[in-house]
Amino acid sequence: MPVLTRDEVLRRLRESDGAAVLRGAIVGDLDLRGMAIDFPLNLSGAQIAGTLDLTDAVLRRGLVAPRMHLRGALTARRCAIAGDTLLAHARVDGPVDMFRTRIRGKLYAWRARFFGEASFRELVGQLGEPAADGSLQPGEINFSWSWFHGKAVFERGQFDGPVYFWRTRFFDDASFDDVSFNRDATFMGKQSEVCLSRDEVGWSLFDALGGTLLRYSDDETQRGSDGVERASFAHWREIPGRQELRARMEALNLAPDQRQHLERLFAEHCGPMFAKSASFQRLRIEHAKRVKMMAVSATSWTMLPADADAIAFVDADDKPVPSKVGLGRPYARVFISYGGPDRAVAERFNRVLLDAGVDTFYYPEQSVPGRVIDDEMRTGVSGFDRVLLITSRTSPTRPGWVFELRRALEREQATGQGTTVLVVASIDDAFENQAWPADIEPLRQRLLGRTYARFGKQLDNEDDFLRAVGRLLEGLRRDGADELP
């Protein structure tokens, strides 16, 4: 297939009034620096083997590039775009530099993939005309389900319309310092909220999963070799972890290679929003509490207190949480210790903590196949900030639970006075009223000298349970008192 030159690309687009005439075409370098283009720059589905340079260009009818694959760099410094910039499903292998780009319309980069460093420093998103079908809001900036493999920079950006980073993945450092949010902005980090494309799953497997594992979306369709239009993407049905995924795959009687493929995709898509550091300093927020952090977590977080006061912190169900959940992990990373008979309760704790943005170790989900169980428990107790010890009538009879309890107490003693590792959650009245076996009864007496969380009747009502977990979270704060309120 011949490689199209810049002049040939522009001729085709001009003659077709910007229609999608480049799908599947191979394009060389597109150097459009300083040009004023009066027709839509429609690069939909194009394979650009070189770079795309829009420095100082004026695009009077927008940039349309869904499913574009750009192997080189995207440079659009000081570019002015009147109209929408559509990058849904686009892939950019090289770096992105959109310094001081001004977009009067929407920037829609849904499920885009950025593999190099991506800089949107001083990007301005201005209000444009509403979409005729109402699908996008004026001035909308939407990077939902996009992945940034390199550093992502949005510093000093000005967003006049609503902003969405819904299940966006930042695998490297991300900075939103000095950003102006003039409307609503939502950062949604619920890890089990996963969107898969037909192409990455495989066409036949994608269709076979409907109902049990996937919810198909009709927002986008693709035409198959048989000429039939089918959904392009789908969302996992609510799957809180790998155990549930495996159970549903078992019910579908999938082949081993299909199961491995889906587990790989699950692990790939279900990580935290911010895998490394996130910085939100000196934010300018026009409407307090309309910038929302939903179940967001990061390995480290930088945020000035004034910014935090103007942000709404909620869980994945949009319910307020007691403080900055997950941001910079003010809540400690938690190892969940439980006896086998209490697994259902432990799974419930794990789900709620994850939805609140807390990093957890729950054995059925995070254990590594092939490792010695004692080594797995020892590493978990040693490597996580806190151990949530779920106590019940049966737990003191479980050797693994006793092993984790002893290791946590040994770690407290070795770390020094005033250090708390164990946070106790009692799920019945046995912790207070029933003696443990003689060899570990002294440990119970030591724990009774602490404040602990009581879960009994709260387990029977979801709202009561969530409120009790909210109190428990205060005992998991990195910057708060060690005792539970």
What residue segments make up the domains of the chain, in order of their start?
3-172, 195-269, 334-474
**Over the stretch 351-389, which tens digit does the pLDDT of each residue have?**
888 776 677 888 776 554 545 456 666 665 766 778 899
Q: Which of these, 358, 389, 347, 361, lies nearest to 473 by C-alpha position?
A: 358
Fold of 334-474: Rossmann fold (3.40.50)
The pLDDT of residue 330 is 47
Helix (H, G, I), strand (E, B) or coil at 472: helix
Residues 285-297 have pLDDT tens digits of 999 889 998 888 6
Q: Over the stretch 79-103, which tens digit does the pLDDT of each residue have?
A: 999 999 999 999 999 999 999 999 9
Kind of pairing between the strands at 386-391 and 334-337: parallel
Predicted TM-score (pTM) above 0.75: no
Which H helix or E strand runs over 470? helix 462-474
DSSP sequence for 219-280: SSEEE-TTS-EEESEEEE-S--SHHHHHHHHHHHT--HHHHHHHHHHHHHHSS-SEEEEEEE
Identify the pLDDT of residue 173.
94
With a cut of 80, say whether residue 257 has pLDDT above it: yes
